[in-house]
Amino acid sequence: MSRMEDISTFNAVREAGLAKLLPDVPRVTVGMGTCGRGNGAEGVYHALAEANDRAGGLLASVGCFGPCSEEPLVGVWIPGSPLVILRRVQQGDAERILADALDGRIPPDLAWCKVEEWDHLTAQIKYGHGYPELPSWHEVPFFAGQKKIVLRNCGFIDPEDIEEYVAVGGYQALYKVLIDNQPACVIEQIKAARLRGRGGAGFSTGIKWDYLAKATADAKYIICNADEGDPGAYMNRNEIESDPHSLLEGMIIGGFVMGASLGIIYVRAEYPVAVHRLTHAIEQAREYGLLGDNVLGRGFHFDIEMVEGAGAFVCGEETALIASLEGLAGRPRPRPPFPAQRGLWGRPTNINNVETWCNIAPIVVKGAGWFTQTGSAKSAGTKVFSLVGKVQNTGLVEMPLGTPIKTFVYDIGGGGAGGKSIKSVQTGGPSGGCIPQEMFDTPVDYETLAQLGSIMGSGGMVVMDEDNCMVDVARYFVEFTHSESCGKCVPCRVGLDQALDILNSFTEGTGSLAQLELLGELGRMVRDTSLCGLGQTAPNPVLTTMRHFRHEFEDHILGRRCNAGVCTQLALSPCENSCPLHMNVPRYLQLLKEGRMEDAFISVLLDNPLPASTGRVCQHPCEDRCRRQTVDEAVNMREVHRFIADSVLGSEQWGPVMDRIQARKLASTGQRIAITGAGPAGLTAAFYLALLGHDVTVFESRQEPGGMLRYALPEYRLPKAVLAREIEGIRCVGMRFECGKKVGADLGLDEIEGQFDAVFLSIGTWQEAAAPVAGAELKGVRAAVPFLETIARGEPVALGRRVAVIGGGNAAIDSARTAVRLGAETTVVYRRERKDMPAIAEETAEAEREGVRFLFLAAPHRIVGDPRGNVKGLEIMKTRLGEFDKSGRQKPVATGEITRFDCDSVILAVGESVDLEFGRLSGLGLSPSGTIVADRFTLETSRSNVFAGGDVVSGASNVTKAMAYGKRAARSMDRRLTGSDRFPALLEAFEYDQTPPPPAAGGPRRRGHERPVSVRVRGSEEVVEGLTTADAIEEAARCLRCDVRA
């Protein structure tokens, strides 16, 4: 130890530090921040220490380098080579890491990236060159674009060793400031750097310093606010844990130029590692002559004390913090007087956030001009953010101010975890706002965020995806600020309590639109009238979610639904909530388990009038949410209701069961209802409306009812006989079919409207989307749906030997597998990757097994014809994935590389749209994409008593969603015609066991038997046979019964 009193003692310390940083033996470092420790860094450190006793390398613990999802991180430096960062290191790796290091090697499986030289800003450290196979650190997506100013030393030096800090240029800035002895110039420099408070409010640091410097008093104080209390934010913690001297140096410089004698660091007591390292750093600074009577031998007296906070969020507010330091309860007081006028113990006081202080030394050393090169016009420099939530890569990132949100979410964060689509980012902690995905181009700086109703805050950035309920998010943050309100002023104390009450009513399904309006008014009032920043910003999450996600509030209030499945009181179970038809899944499983086949069938049919068809072709979103997945695999709910339906339909039980359904039919209302389109939406609406006692007529343009089920789904997925039986069942509830009558052409909408009391439009989307490719006019180019329809009619299609199918949805896969059954060699061309395909994954996998070839990242460029106008081949543009689009998938971008293959037919399955001609003639309100506009909840169109649903409203979708429209339309139309909600009267109450089973009941998931590929490609038999009775019952027993609640 040596006191630093002049340039020679200073340099001695620096040399000592450098000898540790770049020793002549290998140096191994372990990231030992709280995050690293949480992931097992201590175990790794001890294992390395033990191994090192024998190996003789130099082992050090350092701070955190940022990427939390890759912890524990270990750095290995072999003299002359780059520093290599190893990730996800386990205790067991210690021996070989050291052994390899001593041999001059790096374990390739652990190596992540390398650092050849590092700019500490106050000094450059050159580690060496080599390892050409390893990416440099800034080539790793997580680091790309990051600029480390505040975090310049984090992860490189030992935070408990002042000598290493000095070795990377630490305390040089302080020395310069003391030698120059020009306090006013330093303040001018800070002003010129346009450094703004990093605690969130963004006030100019230079101006704030000027206030204190100009204040006259017997004592002046400076305070570092390290009371970081936002959930999910840990920038300050990491800054202190990894580089405490950087903070101290900033404060000592501040103390000198502002004329303060004492600095106080108010640190969160919940940060034990930070508290420990800071205490240690302050002691070391005193020992080395950086604090105390004669700082660096320049005669300046200054000391720093550390005070641990008492755990109140509001103490982050400066006047509350001062009150807390004075031993009073942490409650804010009105400003003015500002702390710079009257602060701690009535003396002029300056308060800055940790990160602000950490910016000081680099600005002093490198100058204001250098600092303002980074960042945006009004906000210079960088900001550290904690990027957390639903992104693949989480961690601390330091980015130039003004970086767009999408860079954080997609480039650094790597997009949604598990391929889910991201819907919002919440910035600024519990008092920030939620910014929707459409606004991800927004640059992150103080002004822009404020315009969007959010704040920079201390730098929390929480990413939310489709599984987050924005109403619940608002409720969660208000619950936090509500519990942290000090209670002094009325708007914050009582207003937040009332806001929480209203939000709870939404998540519990008891709220009203009037309360939503009141909540908005209350939010603005709390924002505009609260005493301190806590209350003024607490409504931000509510106001921004109300602005950008109002539809979710409406879903909760009007639909009593939480689509994300978060608000459990609005759902029976996760499967029920995610089922578009909201089938009571646990009930039919339990009834089957109890051997009550008839009851199970009635339960299923009253929820879903086409259980055998959907049992084969549904996209089964229920399974994605099934809680059984936490044990093994989701319950095979779809196959069970297929089994139930198949067992009853056409059997002896069918007649008596349908009699029971008939018996539920309500008395005739005498109201006449027309349904146009006998697809899944129309059939479903017809079924329920008939049961509700209305006189239903279904118009269908084709010769038989069934819509896409009948005409677009291939026989091997849904046998026509099965569908016919189900439609037979629906028909026997009592309705008339008029097939071969097309609305618009054969039958005007006005005409129908005149004859009926209400009309439901469910004409679907049969129009092929415009072909996006040259050569689409050639012979042998077909659209998928007409192709499938021709096959469904049993008419011949000459495809030729080789077929190319363009698209990645279910229609593409259906077409490809149908083509295989016609004996063609089939290739599916899709412009993105397999994981991005909208088709059901199992169907794609089966297609592949049946011999369908897939070309991913390939877009059609041109269809090539021969001189007679027949298809001869297909030119394909290779694509790569670029930016993320609204669906959360990356957009394919043409690379310019074109390949070609020969084929005789091309099937275009690039989507279907509404018959625009009909839309135009109907006089109904239409969306830009040509779909009919209908109220989200009532499905009413712009014409009174005309309702619409299914694909004609949503655009091409799937069977179950279309049926859900039919169900909702039936309820809404009945309510309109009768004035009361009679729908629940249709449903039957069943008594069944309500005890949840043991967690692992039922064993592994049962699957239906698959026919061998060789058999199925020769005919059109169903690919998967249904479950056997024993399997179905055992599968039903696997349900964990989420519907049973204590």
Partner 1 sequence: MPQKRSIRIDGELVQVARGETILDAARAAGRTIPTLCHFDGLRNSGACRLCIVEVSGSNRLLPACTTPAEDGMAVTTSSPKLTAYRRMTIELLLAERNHLCSVCVSNGHCELQALATSIGVTSVRFRYRYPALPVDQSHERYVLDHNRCVLCSRCVRVCAELEGAHVWDFMSRGIQLRVVSDLDQPWAEALACTNCGKCVQACPTGALVEKGRAVEEMAKRCSQVAQVAMKRGAPR
Nearer to partner 1 by Cβ, of 450 and 1037: the residue is 450
Q: Which of 730, 685, 737, 709 is nearest to 939 (CA)?
A: 685
Nearer to partner 1 by Cβ, of 452 and 924: the residue is 452
Nearer to partner 1 by Cβ, of 327 and 754: the residue is 327
Q: How far apart are CA 584 and CA 541, in angstroms?
A: 34
Nearer to partner 1 by Cβ, of 370 and 476: the residue is 476
Nearer to partner 1 by Cβ, of 485 and 815: the residue is 485
Could you tell me the smallest distance in angstroms from the CB atom of residue 525 to partner 1? 5
Could you tell me the smallest distance in angstroms from the CB atom of residue 145 to partner 1? 34
Contact 692/974 with Cβ under 8 angstroms? Answer: yes
Q: How far apart are CA 638 and CA 1007, in angstroms?
A: 11
User: CA-CA distances (angstroms) from residue 769 to 146, 325, 885, 910?
Assistant: 43, 68, 20, 7
User: Degrees (nearest 5) of the Cα angle 307, 309, 314?
Assistant: 135
Residue given tokens 């994954």 in the structure block:
841
- SS3 assignment, position 201: coil
Contact 381/375 with Cβ under 8 angstroms? Answer: yes
Nearer to partner 1 by Cβ, of 521 and 652: the residue is 521
The number of residues in the chain equals 1046
| DSSP-derived pairing of the beta strands 672-676 and 221-226 | unpaired
Q: Residues near 569 by Cβ (< 8 Å), separated by ≥ 6? A: 507, 508, 509
Nearer to partner 1 by Cβ, of 197 and 436: the residue is 197
Could you tell me the smallest distance in angstroms from the CB atom of residue 662 to partner 1? 47
Q: Order across the sheet with 890-902: list the strands.
A: 858-865, 871-884, 890-902
* Amino acid identity for residue 860 in this structure: P
Kindly report the number of other CB atoms within 10 A of residue 736's CB atom: 12
Nearer to partner 1 by Cβ, of 109 and 521: the residue is 521
Count of alpha carbons within 13 angstroms of residue 402, beta-carbon side:
11
Q: How far apart are CA 1030 and CA 1027, in angstroms?
A: 8
- SS3 assignment, position 614: helix
Could you tell me the smallest distance in angstroms from the CB atom of residue 332 to partner 1? 9
Nearer to partner 1 by Cβ, of 224 and 314: the residue is 314
Q: What is the DSSP string of 315-383?
A: GGSHHHHHHHHTTS-S----SSSPTTTS-GGGS-EEEEEHHHHHTHHHHHHH-HHHHHTSB-SSSBSEE
Could you tell me the smallest distance in angstroms from the CB atom of residue 430 to partner 1? 14
Could you tell me the smallest distance in angstroms from the CB atom of residue 504 to partner 1? 10
φ, ψ for residue 754 (rounded to 5)? -70, -30
Could you tell me the smallest distance in angstroms from the CB atom of residue 328 to partner 1? 9
Binding site for partner 1 (CB under 8 A): 312, 314, 329, 331, 333-334, 336, 482-491, 493-498, 501, 518, 521-522, 525, 528-531
Nearer to partner 1 by Cβ, of 347 and 625: the residue is 347
Could you tell me the smallest distance in angstroms from the CB atom of residue 480 to partner 1? 11
Could you tell me the smallest distance in angstroms from the CB atom of residue 557 to partner 1? 16
Count of alpha carbons within 13 angstroms of residue 586, beta-carbon side:
24
Nearer to partner 1 by Cβ, of 489 and 581: the residue is 489
Q: How far apart are CA 802 and CA 786, in angstroms?
A: 19
Could you tell me the smallest distance in angstroms from the CB atom of residue 269 to partner 1? 17
Nearer to partner 1 by Cβ, of 331 and 710: the residue is 331
Could you tell me the smallest distance in angstroms from the CB atom of residue 505 to partner 1? 9
Nearer to partner 1 by Cβ, of 491 and 705: the residue is 491
Could you tell me the smallest distance in angstroms from the CB atom of residue 496 to partner 1? 8
Residue given tokens 């110039």 in the structure block:
185
Q: Which of 221, 199, 426, 238 is nearest to 317 (CA)?
A: 199
Here the tokens at position 627 are 């809680």
Q: Order across the sheet with 83-86: list the strands.
A: 58-62, 27-31, 74-77, 83-86, 111-115
Nearer to partner 1 by Cβ, of 413 and 491: the residue is 491
| DSSP-derived pairing of the beta strands 460-465 and 422-427 | antiparallel
Nearer to partner 1 by Cβ, of 204 and 498: the residue is 498
User: Degrees (nearest 5) of the Cα angle 476, 477, 480?
Assistant: 90
Could you tell me the smallest distance in angstroms from the CB atom of residue 501 to partner 1? 5
Nearer to partner 1 by Cβ, of 287 and 501: the residue is 501
Q: How far apart are CA 717 and CA 816, in angstroms?
A: 13
Could you tell me the smallest distance in angstroms from the CB atom of residue 718 to partner 1? 52
Q: Residues near 839 by Cβ (< 8 Å), separated by ≥ 6? A: 808, 809, 810, 812, 813
| DSSP-derived pairing of the beta strands 736-739 and 695-700 | parallel
Could you tell me the smallest distance in angstroms from the CB atom of residue 608 to partner 1? 39
Q: How far apart are CA 721 and CA 440, in angstroms?
A: 50
Here the tokens at position 856 are 């991913």
Could you tell me the smallest distance in angstroms from the CB atom of residue 486 to partner 1? 5
DSSP class of 58:
E
Nearer to partner 1 by Cβ, of 488 and 548: the residue is 488
Could you tell me the smallest distance in angstroms from the CB atom of residue 922 to partner 1? 43
